[in-house]
Amino acid sequence: MDNKPRILLIEDEKGMVEAVRLRLEANGYEVMTSGDGEEGLIKARSEKPDLIILDVMLPTLDGLKVCRMLKFDENYNDIPVVMFTAKTQEEDVACGKEVGADAYVKKPFKSEELLKVIGDLLAKKNQPPSQNDTTASI
């Protein structure tokens, strides 16, 4: 059985989808794609990928709404979300964090940066709960 980490790429620009998909597959990831926000949300819920790469400007439902809907749903809030966008102003990054995004990668992107962010988020997600967690149970 194949245990490749599964990534859902929600991006409407076909050339970008192809470039990212090829790069991720070459690095051992299984990639599912969606071209709009509504379809992406449905796929995220039905497929429950290990990580989501999410464009902000999408048809039908923008990426910020998709992220918010997933992050505020306890069934999906553990899926790391990487906002993937050309909108790089400080307020754009702040909006992404506000809706629960785990990371922000700017377009045009550097493959090494995207792969490092993905690797870090997946490693963090798969870590067992810390033994020296500072939250004490009372």
What tens digit of pLDDT does each residue of 88-101 get? 678 878 888 899 99
Whether residue 40 is contained in a domain is answered as yes
- Which residue range(s) make up the domain with 35? 6-125
**56-76 pLDDT, tens per residue?**
999 999 999 999 999 999 999
The verdict on residue 100 lying in a domain is yes
Query: In the structure encoding, which two tokens stand for residue 42, read together?
Result: 């449905």
Asked if residue 55 belongs to a domain, the reply is yes
In the predicted model, what is the mean pLDDT of the chain?
90
116 within a domain of the structure (yes/no)? yes
For residue 131, is it within any domain? Answer: no
Query: Structural domain tally of the chain?
Result: 1
CA–CA distance, 44 with 37 (Å, rounded to integer): 10
DSSP labels, 10-72: E-S-HHHHHHHHHHHHHTT-EEEEESSHHHHHHHHHHH--SEEEEESS-SSS-HHHHHHHHHT
pLDDT of residue 53: 98
What is this structure's pTM? 0.89
Find the CATH number of the domain harbouring 61.
Answer: 3.40.50.2300
pLDDT greater than 50 at residue 47: yes
Residues 4, 28: contact at Cβ < 8 Å?
yes
